Amino acid sequence: MSLLRLRAALLGPARLRGAGIPWSVLRNYSSASAKEKARRSAICERTELLEVLKARAKQLQANNVPEMTVNKVELAPLGNDKYQDLLQKVVTPGRAEEQPAPSGKGESPAGPSSWVEKSKKELYIRQLKVERKLSIAASRLALEGQAKAKPKSKRKGKAKAKAKAKKRLKRPKAKVAAAQSQSHAGSRSVYAHSKPRVVAVKEAAKAQRPQSVLENKDSSQHNVLQQTIQANLECFLFLQQPEEAERLLLLYHRSPVKRRLLNVNAYNIVMRIWARKGCLQHINRLFSMLESVGLQPSLDSYAAALECMGRNQSSTKAIQRCMQQLKKNGFRVDELFQKCLFEEDEKEKVLRAIRIVQPNYQLPPPPSPQTCKSSLLQDFYSKEKMVSYPKLDFSVQELQERFQQQLEMELNNTITIESVESTKPLTPQAIKARKLLATLRSRWHDSILQALQKSKRSMSKLKTVSGYNILYPYLCLLPDEEYVGIMLQILNTLSPQGESLAVLARELGSKVYNRYITQRKLRSRQLEKVQEVYEDYIHLLAKDSQTDEYLPREYWEKLVAEAGFGPSLNLKDSSWPYMLIMRLGMHMLELLVHAVKVPRNALNPRLEHKLIPVLYHIYSFRSSWQVGLIKPHPIFSQIVSDAAETLLTFNSSAIPMLCPPVPWTSPHFGAFVLNDTKLMRFVDGAIQHQLLLEQCPPVNLHPVLDALNQLGNCAWKINQPVLDIIISIFNDKGNEKLDIPPPISEAPRPPTTPSNSSTGNKSEKHELLLYKKKTAEMHSLRMDALYKLSIANYVRDKVFWFPHNMDFRGRTYPCPPYFNHLGNDVTRAILLFAQGKPLGPRGLDWLKIHLINLTGLKKRNALQERLEYANEIMEEILDSADHPLTGRKWWMNTDEPWQALACCMEIAKASRSPDPAAYISHFPVHQDGSCNGLQHYAALGRDLIGAISVNLMPCNVPQDVYSAVAQQVEEFRKKDAEQGVKIAQVLQGFISRKVVKQTVMTVVYGVTRYGGRLQMEKRLKEIEFPEEYLWEASHYLVKQVFNGIKEMFSATRDIQNWLTESAKLIAQSGQTVEWVTPLGLPIVQPYYRSKSTVLNCSMQHLSVKSSNSNQKPDTVKQKNAFPPNFIHSLDSTHMMLTALHCLRQSMTFVSVHDCYWTHALTVDIMNQICRQQFVALHSEKILQDLSKFMLEKYCRPGGETRALWQKKLMEQLSNVPKTGKFNLKKVMDSTYFFS
């Protein structure tokens, strides 16, 4: 749109190109606009829709594609009655500019309506107003540019004027910008008459920009621009193009303004390129350039210089000078090998140069291993109590073969597997469709390849004219065929409903980045080193090998230290900014959209042979966001549907590992062999987590790394009988009751379309909307189940592993996203431990108790009563195991039916074996925490009543906190009803455990009264409460639930309020909330005020919301999220302590947050460890330590100079809540603490 173009002109092209957020930001969809304001007038909406349509029409005309419109596409008749449903909205080709703005209602008027004409006038008036504002803004910018020469004493006033001008420039947030043609050199305005104004403002903005971005070295834009330059230089390093790298560096170095974007790392990258060529003269020049701009060379600078000298056998005198300068700058020679990262043979060349001067020089010995001093893990890390690491049931040879299979899969980047969907006998129609699809894909491959090569040629020519094109080197990193393969993969996986441009662009860009990193690892010979070390590492795990007593991390570090020479296992950081990933992805998406075409008569030979686009670009609303979508043409969707292909392609990181994961040894290294994996998952691109982890002493992270390695080293296999039953139901129309989604063919029939959509019945339109929503949901659920079951079926005969990482609170997650033990009932039911253990004397009893737990039938009963009940219904259990689909189907009426069925089968096998105690079981038995969040609060506050409610105190039967709160609320209700409160009287008989459970459960995780009221309203609707009283009743109930919890958990509420108020004061001071867990993991809350960044592309502009550490904290989120995040960090600490101590007992242990899994044999041992570690954790002075840490961090000593907010914060943090009299050691005897 013109508005966004004008904004682009104000910001300037460089700012738009560079502005962005870290590439790790992952949005489910990206808006093509800023958020719509609720009170925006209808006139503005119509005007903006018209702008979008006009611009889109111009692009379509320019591309000679009359079939594609903003939200409609010509559907060629397919020549078959069954296809005619798709043809209800045929669009007559005509002048695109005369198409009305999309209304989302399917109308197709013959000509423009009166409001369109009116909107044109409004648009013109609006443009004049905008131009007038921009004219004023431009003159102000020019005045400010002249004011540069004024004395420093006036800077304050100047800043105010600048802020005022900026304020005046504010306008309603931009909508999705009009898509338009755009050259590589720059963008053209949609409206010709506004262009002179744009140019004028651009010039003014150019003069202003250096002060706003380049001078502010702490700004996020400055950091992203700096990161982009370094990424570009890294590309030239990879491509071995030193001249291009130096040309780009000089482009910035020679400009006093642009030079501020360069740091020593940029110069070092260029030095490394010349070092590989052995060109010392160029490196000397770069040292001179560093000196000229006042930058001091770093260790990497000297490493590059010495590498170059080692390559070309420089003179002793030159090397001596270099080493003297190194020492003069405060470095030691040993530090080159201790702190620098090397690739290929760089390390050897540096050593060769040093030995020319010091022939007897030896590499410094590796640092002696440090031991974690945490009081919680003194026994665990004690050398006296060390035991051999548990062995896997595999030989060294078998593990080596599995490693090679995993490596091959990762080298291919993707893996294609058979889908589990039933493949009907191939019909002539399917054979024909598959043949047609193969022909089309071959043509598309050639078309995309030609388009890519043409684009690269034009960029390479442009490069010589304009100086530099940002995308060109990124399109040269891989062979052209790989880019084409990536684009075709995206096309093949596109759903008929389409996908947002931002999601597709991010996926395309990320795939290129991931393959580039893989190639870098190959080129640097890092992979060779990993292979060498891994081959030795598996001796720790193999059953036929003996090693000393090491943990996986310790053994890997020992092997790396012994390897000595060769490349480093960590690559130098070369991450790409998020906006760069998006820009590259958008360019590839544009190539794909324009290159891929299908004959109009592909399915109906009677029609004219004419090529029409396979993909088209539309706009749609999601909530109040207007989103750009890419949607496939129905002809393409129909061909794909008819072909009924049965292959699925996944990234290799989506599949469980076929060998034990590489152990985590640092925040940068671990998990997959090749695929880049972060130790900590980032939300909203918040890179400050990574910085915290890097600054943290490595020894402090050892417990966390060792716990992740323990979880990842658990080997799994598939429960084949259960998987086969699930697949059979999946392929037989599914079963919603059993959580197996039905296919789209089972969706309810669509309502009849109103004859005149503009005047049609509102209820009919609403029904159509609901139908579309239901269909989309069914498709999503079906595909999710298809992916999970297909991956499970692929590994059905294999043993596999789930590498783990964690979120910013320390909660652990398996890395493969689709199929893992954190999934739903269906997924968990088909997983077994690969290692079996005998049931032992109590194992069968634990299996039976576990089964009754899964049914949800005896939650309030003692364990012995549950066991007795299991023995009573043994006939039902055996019938379910023997005849799951043809018997009495008792298992189907349980809370977790599939896990219950799997457990029935295990009990049947064990009970029928000659000696149940000797039966080898692979079945995981679960022990669940009882409202775990409240357990941690009750322990922190030593809250006696709360401790009893959540089973911290020993009791004969399990206590149910939800029932207790419901009872308390009922007592409040009775009192109010007696006093004549109307709503209390209406609620008689409606208060139950089910109504209050969700709110009680989420209070501990920071639910507000507003959120609680919505939860209550939903529950009341489910039990058919009178609708007219819903709002009042839910409002009343949430108030009483909060009062009930406050009365029962008095210390809990005090702690929650203390945490909330502390976080509020910290955030109001402009800082984020940070703390360190009792295991030493540093945590920072990543909540900042978001900011929209515009990505300017020819198809459309993308407005991407970003939040980063250079922006102010979001006070509300920081405040509300601190209590639940703090408790989550404690529950993850408890889980990790349990995992590590189970390891010392050679037990299998995995967790789903507060649900712990082990073999039936070791349930009793795990329960004991779990309780011991909970008591040990809460015996630490957790709140006092938190208070001390925050006082040191946020209230630095300063006496009288402290600001008022600091004094207030000091007072708040010092006032740690008082605790009750609960004896924590009672937890040791509580049967139902975890059960």
Catalytic residues: 928, 997, 1154
Tokens of 662: 């590489």
* Backbone φ, ψ for residue 545 (5° rounding): -140, 145
669-671 and 662-666: which strand pairing? Answer: antiparallel
In angstroms, the CA 918 to CA 935 distance is 37
Alpha helices of 194-298 — where are they, by DSSP H? 195-209, 220-239, 242-253, 264-277, 280-292
Tokens of 54: 């006009």
Task: Please list, residue by residue across 800-817, b when 16 or more beta carbons sit within 10 angstroms of its beta carbon and e when fewer do.
Answer: bbbbbbbbbbbbbbbbbe
Tokens of 1027: 């609708």
In contact, 1123 and 1061? CB cutoff 8 Å: no
Measured in whole angstroms, the distance separating CA 551 from the mean position of its chain's CA atoms is: 30
Place of tokens 């190109």: 17
Cα–Cα distances (Å) from 810 to 544, 682, 813, in that order, read 35, 12, 10
- Neighbour-count burial of 870, counting CB atoms closer than 10 A to its CB (0-12 exposed, 13-18 middle, 19+ buried): buried
Q: Which of 1181, 1212, 1178 is nearest to 1195 (CA)?
A: 1212
What 1001-1004 contacts at long range (C-beta under 8 Å, 24+ apart), as own/partner pairs, is 1001/931, 1001/933, 1001/962, 1003/1041, 1003/1042, 1003/1045, 1004/931, 1004/933, 1004/934, 1004/937, 1004/1052, 1004/1056, 1004/1123, 1004/1124, 1004/1127
Task: Please list, residue by residue across 57-94, b when 16 or more beta carbons sit within 10 angstroms of its beta carbon and e when fewer do.
Answer: bbbbeeeebbbbbbbbbbbbbbeeeebeeeeeeebeee
Measured in whole angstroms, the distance separating CA 737 from the mean position of its chain's CA atoms is: 30
Tokens of 174: 């931009």
Neighbours of 624 (CB within 10 A): 13
* Backbone φ, ψ for residue 796 (5° rounding): -60, -30
Q: Which of 414, 637, 246, 379 is nearest to 1169 (CA)?
A: 379
Tokens of 359: 């022939």
Q: 971 Cβ partners below 8 Å, 6+ apart?
A: none
Q: 891 Cβ partners below 8 Å, 6+ apart?
A: 880, 884, 897, 900, 901, 904
Residues 49, 52, 58, 61: is their CA dihedral positive or negative? negative
Q: Which of 787, 269, 231 is nearest to 512 (CA)?
A: 231
Length of the chain: 1235
SS3 924: strand
In angstroms, the CA 1144 to CA 1031 distance is 54
Question: Given phi > 0 = left and psi -120 to 50 = alpha, else beta, which region is 989?
Answer: left
Q: Which of 727, 779, 734, 718 is nearest to 494 (CA)?
A: 779
Residues 1129, 1132, 1137, 1143: is their CA dihedral positive or negative? negative
In contact, 214 and 257? CB cutoff 8 Å: yes
**N- to C-terminal Cα distance for the chain?**
60
In angstroms, the CA 326 to CA 875 distance is 81
In angstroms, the CA 1004 to CA 1048 distance is 13
